[in-house]
Structure 1
Amino acid sequence: MRRLVQLGLLLLVAGAGWVAVTQPENLPFALPENSTSQPTTSAPSDPTAPAPNGTLTDAALTALVTRQPISVQALRAREYPGSALTVRETLRAGANYSRQVVSYQSDGLRINALLTVPNGAPPPGGWPAIVFNHGYIPPDEYRTTERYVAYQDAFARAGFVTLKSDYRGHGSSEGEALGGYNDPGYTVDVLNAAASLKADRRVNPARLGLWGHSMGGQLSLRAMLVDKSLKAASLWAGVVAGYDVLATDWNPPATGPKPTLDRLNRRYLRALSPNALLRDLNGRPIQLHHGTNDADVPYSFQKALADDLRAAGQGVEAYRYEGDNHNLSQNLQVALRRSVAFFKANL
């Protein structure tokens, strides 16, 4: 058997939010050199050790995955208390809603976010709310009040509280921006944003969903699997294929051979992916939108997640936009109407 692929040398590339910018990120996950790709039926006393015949058992594989801080299992073991939303700046109001820059606590860091709240008294139990998760933007260029204005406005006008987290290390938020695929920080920030909304007296904690674009699509999917109180997610041009697919099919070299994985590394990356745990959605709805001419995140990633959802016995509402780009510029209003209707039906 050939030697295991050194996955830390495989580059993943994050899609841009509104602009075509790419961010290389390493996957720092490599399996033991003395493991083989054949599963066994008996686990050793140390679940991370290879079996006597040198194979890696399913139990050992699960133990290795659980040790990774980015794994859903590791994230489920953490707590997400959130905090009160502290107003930092009051902005010009929207058509029928207020706008404020607020902050909340995540891992002891002050994270800024853009909050919208419908005008008037909340309905009984509070407003439904959407945790709004943006795609990759260079962290030092990011500004809380820029980008995604039309997207957030559509949900705010429709009567949803929305909270667009900056994530750590973005703009003036505290912390270090380490990326959304090999570090748990952004996902932790999303989950603490959700917890902060649940604690807000204006919000109905039983009517909370997520919207995510590009990198924010994966953050939203992972957060849904960690926090089972989140009711629904609409994912646009999401980086939502399994890690095994991302490692080989995302921006392969223009010349030369395409990256490949041996059987064991493919099993391992697959097990590390949110896609491996989709049965845990337990019927909570997922909506997908993707353009076929997306130069940043291929349409095949939406198809991969839709196939995974169906294989896991979960429903999916998937929209394909012929010839459209990463931001669905040609079909923006159609996609926004579909997303608003989705949240009205499911929150």
Structure 2
Amino acid sequence: MISLRKLPVLGLLHVTGALAQSQAALNAVDAAQMSIPAARQTFQKGGYPGSALTVRQTLAAGSNYTRQVVSYQSEGLRINALLTVPRGTPPKGGWPAIVFNHGYVPPKVYRTTERYVAYQDAFARAGFVTLKSDYRGHGSSQGEALGGYYAPGYTTDVMNALGSLKRDPRVNPARIGMWGHSMGGFLTLRAMVIDRSVKAGVIWAGVVGDYDQLMNSWTRRAPVPASIPSAVLNLRKRAVEQYGTPRANPAFWNALSANSYLRDLGGPIQLHIGTNDEDVPVAFHTTLAAQLRPLGKLGGNYVYPGDNHNLSGNLRVALNRSVQFFRDRL
């Protein structure tokens, strides 16, 4: 993530102005589209097929892997992504792979090769194919950025990234995991309860509360980023007006929350967070850990005293733990 407080005023105005969403796209959003059962039904009917990965740009190689900007199809949109592939002879059945889900970055500031590079490099050097999708409306990906919590587009893009890896001949489709940070943790949890073939997940500083927590317990130390258009923020208000609050209408909102379907996870999840996280409440992490543990789905629970949202003070330790977890599980 980046801090908008470090952007010059004119740059900030440019960012917020560039993010105006079309009224047609906003009008088409209905919170009911976030339903986990509906997404599962779509998946079971082959609705997240992904596509072949098309090379858009070949980048400088890493120490033992290649790097390319690629694209794949998601609901007819071209979504860009950063792909890494290990060099050498793949193991029988193909390389293990990780779908890499980034957190919130202002979509028009976002660049495929400028965010999460060090994070992705750690998994690439360890012998995993990795695919970090840009989500719709991010950078030069097609579509509109409508946020991840009340519109289904980002979830759909993650599911199609997963579908694209499954069909890639270099990848073993039975050895795929997911890594997510912040909003990407929210998307990771959703994808893993939609598709049980995902064998393992790692979530850093994840927005992993249910909708009651998201609406009533998300007290940020930092202000809501100014780059989020008011029209996108209003999607929550519109959803509550239409369906009531999570406390008034729990059946509706529980059907939208991945937390209601944790028994259906196809593999364990390892959790990481810092106690001085300025963006995500530690309570989201601790509540999810408590829910996963009795189900046998908690693959590790790491809380880093004094660390921030990006785990900057324990970056190498957290990366090593995450890499080892995937080595053990995939």
TM range (shorter): 0.7 to 0.9
- In the TM superposition, what is the alpha-carbon distance from 1:134 to its structure 2 partner? 0.2
- In the TM superposition, what is the alpha-carbon distance from 1:268 to its structure 2 partner? 3.9
The CA RMSD over aligned residues, in Å, is 2.2
Residue identity in the other structure for 1:280? D
- How many residue pairs get matched? 282
3-state SS in 2 of match to 1:111: strand
Asked whether the equivalents of residues 219 and 281 of structure 2 are also in contact (C-alpha less than 8 Å), the reply is no
3-state SS in 1 of match to 2:33: coil
**Separation in 2 of the partners of 1:201 and 1:273?**
33
Q: Which residue of 2 aligns with 1:278?
A: 262
* Alignment partner of 1:182 is 2:182: no
- In the TM superposition, what is the alpha-carbon distance from 1:253 to its structure 2 partner? 10
Q: Select 2:106's aligned residue among 135, 138, 145.
A: 138
Distance 1:275 1:262, change over 3 A: closer
Distance 1:262 1:18, change over 3 A: closer
Q: Which residue of 2 aligns with 1:244?
A: 212
- Same amino acid, percent of matched pairs: 66
* Alignment partner of 1:265 is 2:249: yes
- In the TM superposition, what is the alpha-carbon distance from 1:67 to its structure 2 partner? 8.3
* Alignment partner of 1:162 is 2:145: no
Distance 1:105 1:330, change over 3 A: same
Q: Write out per-residue CA displacement over residues 98-138 of structure 1, whole angstroms, 9 at most, x where no aligned residue.
A: 00000000000000000000011211100000000000011
- In the TM superposition, what is the alpha-carbon distance from 1:266 to its structure 2 partner? 4.5
User: Which is greater in Rg?
Assistant: 1
- In the TM superposition, what is the alpha-carbon distance from 1:269 to its structure 2 partner? 2.7
**Separation in 2 of the partners of 1:67 and 1:174?**
22
Q: Select 1:103's aligned residue among 71, 89, 109.
A: 71
Higher helix share: 2
**Separation in 2 of the partners of 1:19 and 1:290?**
19
Asked whether the equivalents of residues 306 and 316 of structure 1 are also in contact (C-alpha less than 8 Å), the reply is no
**Separation in 2 of the partners of 1:183 and 1:311?**
31
* Alignment partner of 1:210 is 2:194: no
1:32-111 aligned within 5 A: 68-78=32-42, 79-111=47-79
Q: Which residue of 1 aligns with 2:12?
A: none
Asked whether the equivalents of residues 31 and 150 of structure 2 are also in contact (C-alpha less than 8 Å), the reply is no
Asked whether the equivalents of residues 291 and 299 of structure 1 are also in contact (C-alpha less than 8 Å), the reply is yes
Q: Which residue of 2 aligns with 1:308?
A: 291
**Separation in 1 of the partners of 2:31 and 2:204?**
30
**Separation in 1 of the partners of 2:212 and 2:246?**
10
Distance 1:129 1:166, change over 3 A: same
- In the TM superposition, what is the alpha-carbon distance from 1:316 to its structure 2 partner? 3.9
**Separation in 2 of the partners of 1:112 and 1:322?**
36
**TM-score of the superposed pair, with normalisation by structure 1:** 0.77
3-state SS in 1 of match to 2:248: helix
3-state SS in 2 of match to 1:73: helix
**TM-score of the superposed pair, with normalisation by structure 2:** 0.81
* Alignment partner of 1:287 is 2:270: yes
